[in-house]
A and B are shown apart, each in its own frame.
Chain A
Amino acid sequence: MAKKAAVRSQKDQSSLRTRAIKNRQYIWLGLIAFFSVFPFYWMFVISSNNSAAINERPPAVIPGENFLTSVAQVNEIINFAVPLVNSLLVASVVAASQVFFSTLAGFAFAKLRFPGRNGLFVFVLATMMVPTGLGIIPFYLMMSNLGLINTLGSVILPGLTTAFGVFWMRQTIEGGVPDELIEAARIDGASNFRIYRSIVMPSIAPTAGVLGLFGFLAAWNDFMWPLLSLNSPENFTVQVAVRQLRSAYFVDYSIQMTGAFLATVPLLILFALVARRMVAGVMAGAIKG
């Protein structure tokens, strides 16, 4: 009897302990979540308050009513709709192109037999290690010779393909599209492109979508090259526009933060819609990488 009670109390204790551990974990995760989200919240707080409220002690920590005024102020300096449309255009074209070329090349590397296939694939992997940002000086001179400086094309062209995308799509297609399906289509007389369009793409569409999302994000957030290339306001992307607000209005944080907020909101909306897929994408890329 006493023995049983002792066992039970031991059990209670250990379940108490696991509950304590669990609670601690929730606390840590809650803290991490707070730190992850706080800067976004803060962007809105600053952009919706006037300078007086921002500079008060203690500082304002809840959103004010000034947001639309701040947006109007931003628009006086740069009509922010223009960079938003430019970025949307650049990022969409880059995303679509990366999906198309990566899946096409991935299909070839996974399912077609051609000379040098393995060697070329290793080369694709090797290009991921090349610090291409360091070629920026000749890159600029080349773009300038091509007459592309200060055009959206200069920002789109280098992003049309991605080594990571080719690699990822090859892995996905290799495991995700059965060879028998392709053979059957061949016997029916389907061309390679037909196979790509009607068999490969439908079976890997979700993963290809995540790849497109990564491409969109990267193009939207790209900064170094657009900053050099785009120098008149009608061609600015959002990142260049925010940078412009910063150098023009070094001290007025509500204007800067409004710009940053406007540049970030589209991404937050996108993320809210597809967060689950993006998480899966990051983790899938990791396992194979």
Chain B
Amino acid sequence: MATNSKKLLRSERRSGLLYTSPFFIIFAVFGLFPIVYTFWVGFHKWDPFSEPTWVGLDNFVLLMGDDRLWLAIRNTFSIWFLSSVPQILIALWLAWILNHSRIKGNTFWRSVVLIPNITSVVAVAVVFGQLFGRDYGMINWLLTVLGFTPIDWVNGTFSSHVLIAIMVIWRWTGYNALIYLAAMQSVPEELYEAAELDGASKFRQFIEITIPQIRPTIIFTVIVSTIGGLQIFAEPLILDGQGYAGGVSRQFSTVTLFMFEQGFSRFEYGYASAIAIVLTLIVISFSIVNFLIVRKIRA
């Protein structure tokens, strides 16, 4: 019996390591290695026609004086802010509506709000690019009908950021709403009943009970949207239609797009990796800052 259980333990140990190893192998090769290697490449000058040579901090010094980087950083933050703040607010409000048990067709409404999320960024960018087209777009036609001047969405700086933000908001709001809804459903009903007795309005209940109760979930989504949003790439790429520049005057060039441009159209591997390192540092520090800010917000 004793040897038997020992044998069992040994087999568990072996199987445990065997069953979990595929994940770690794939992550090490395709996830971790490239990231670590980026830090090595970033300190070298390297293109397809020559061997990598060590240049120390040269890439970074050059980068700090490169206006295109600062423009890309400004654009990235502007797009991130324009997309994530409304997205989170709308998602919270939508989740609040969906959470009302009196509404019929729960599954139907939940499915409908999730539909945008199954679409590819490419398809989204094509559709919104057309809807917001300067000459024949539906939105500009509506603006004209309502007596406003049509907007050259793609070619303006702010307007192109708004357009990209709308694509992100459209695709992710329903998804986030379902996440908030799941969290809201685990808020104890008694809290609302007590507030109801105190005569608190629905809005006050939302601000003073719901929000604080689901705060961990909000923090989670804010961090995820920061990590994803600061790496935004596909929407501006497709909006441009031609290359990695991010518009004729780089008006919606983002940091990731700039990295792609340097890496895969100029073939400056070292310089592109330096951009990746800078973006990694931005993502990490900004995630931490966000975490601290959201954690501070209490009712």
| Interface pair B114/A289, CB less than 8 Å apart | no
Q: Which residues of A contact B148 (CB under 8 A)?
A: none
- Which residues between 222 and 249 of chain B lie within 8 Å of chain A, taking CB atoms? 227, 231, 233-234, 238, 241-242
Residues 96-133 of chain B, each 1 if its beta carbon lies under 8 Å from chain A, else 0: 01101011000101111111101111111011101101
CB distance from B19 to the nearest CB of A (A): 4
**In the complex the two chains form, what is the Cα distance from A42 to B241 in whole Å?**
20
In the complex, whether B12 has a CB less than 8 A from a CB of chain A is: yes
The A-B contact count (CB < 8 A) is: 275
Residues 239-272 of chain A, each 1 if its beta carbon lies under 8 Å from chain B, else 0: 1001100110010010011011101100110110
In the complex, whether B195 has a CB less than 8 A from a CB of chain A is: no
| Interface pair B116/A29, CB less than 8 Å apart | no
Report which of B20, B23, B112 forms a contact with A36, defined as CB distance below 8 A: B112
Q: In the complex where A36-B115, A54-B136 touch, is A220 in contact with B241 (Cβ < 8 A)? A: no
Q: In the complex where A131-B227, A136-B276, A279-B114 touch, is A264 in contact with B120 (Cβ < 8 A)? A: yes
| Interface pair A161/B241, CB less than 8 Å apart | no
In the complex, whether B88 has a CB less than 8 A from a CB of chain A is: no
| Interface pair A137/B269, CB less than 8 Å apart | yes
Nearest B residue to A117 via CB reads B16
- Which residues between 24 and 59 of chain B lie within 8 Å of chain A, taking CB atoms? 24, 26-27, 30-38, 41
CB distance from B126 to the nearest CB of A (A): 4
In the complex, whether A75 has a CB less than 8 A from a CB of chain B is: no
| Interface pair B34/A104, CB less than 8 Å apart | no
Q: In the complex where A132-B31, A138-B273, A282-B175 touch, is A223 in contact with B183 (Cβ < 8 A)? A: no
Main secondary structure of the interface of B (DSSP, over half): helix
In the complex, whether B147 has a CB less than 8 A from a CB of chain A is: no
| Interface pair A39/B116, CB less than 8 Å apart | yes
Interface centre among B127, B220, B234 (most CB of A within 10 A): B127
User: Which of the segments B64-72, B205-213, B256-264 contacts the partner chain?
Assistant: B256-264
| Interface pair B182/A287, CB less than 8 Å apart | yes
Q: Which residues of A contact B94 (CB under 8 A)?
A: 32
Nearest A residue to B105 via CB reads A29
Report which of B111, B122, B233 forms a contact with A243, defined as CB distance below 8 A: B122
| Interface pair B264/A253, CB less than 8 Å apart | no
CB distance from B116 to the nearest CB of A (A): 5
Interface residues on A, range: 35 or more
Q: Which residues of B contact A191 (CB under 8 A)?
A: 11
Q: Which residues of A contact B9 (CB under 8 A)?
A: 113
| Interface pair A221/B127, CB less than 8 Å apart | no
- Which residues between 6 and 46 of chain A lie within 8 Å of chain B, taking CB atoms? 18, 22, 25-26, 28-29, 32-33, 35-37, 39-40, 42-43, 46
| Interface pair A278/B131, CB less than 8 Å apart | no
Q: Which residues of B contact A271 (CB under 8 A)?
A: 111, 114-115, 118
| Interface pair A112/B16, CB less than 8 Å apart | yes
CB distance from B203 to the nearest CB of A (A): 12
Nearest A residue to B120 via CB reads A221
25 A-B contact pairs sorted by A residue (CB < 8 Å): A22-B102, A22-B103, A32-B94, A33-B113, A105-B23, A114-B12, A114-B17, A130-B32, A132-B34, A132-B35, A136-B34, A138-B38, A158-B26, A160-B22, A161-B22, A166-B20, A246-B238, A253-B136, A260-B122, A263-B120, A271-B111, A275-B107, A283-B179, A283-B181, A283-B182
In the complex, the 9 A-B pairs of residues with the closest C-beta atoms, listed nearest first? A114-B16, A135-B34, A138-B37, A275-B111, A221-B120, A286-B179, A108-B19, A283-B182, A192-B15
Which B residues are closer than 8 A to A by beta carbons?
8-9, 11-17, 19-20, 22-24, 26-27, 30-38, 41, 94, 97-98, 100, 102-103, 107, 109-116, 118-124, 126-128, 130-131, 133, 135-136, 138, 141, 145, 170, 174-175, 178-183, 186, 217, 220, 227, 231, 233-234, 238, 241-242, 256, 259-260, 263-264, 269, 272-273, 276, 279-280, 283, 287
11 further contact pairs, Cβ within 8 A, besides A133-B256, A279-B110: A32-B94, A46-B130, A57-B141, A58-B141, A115-B13, A117-B16, A135-B37, A137-B276, A138-B41, A267-B119, A271-B114
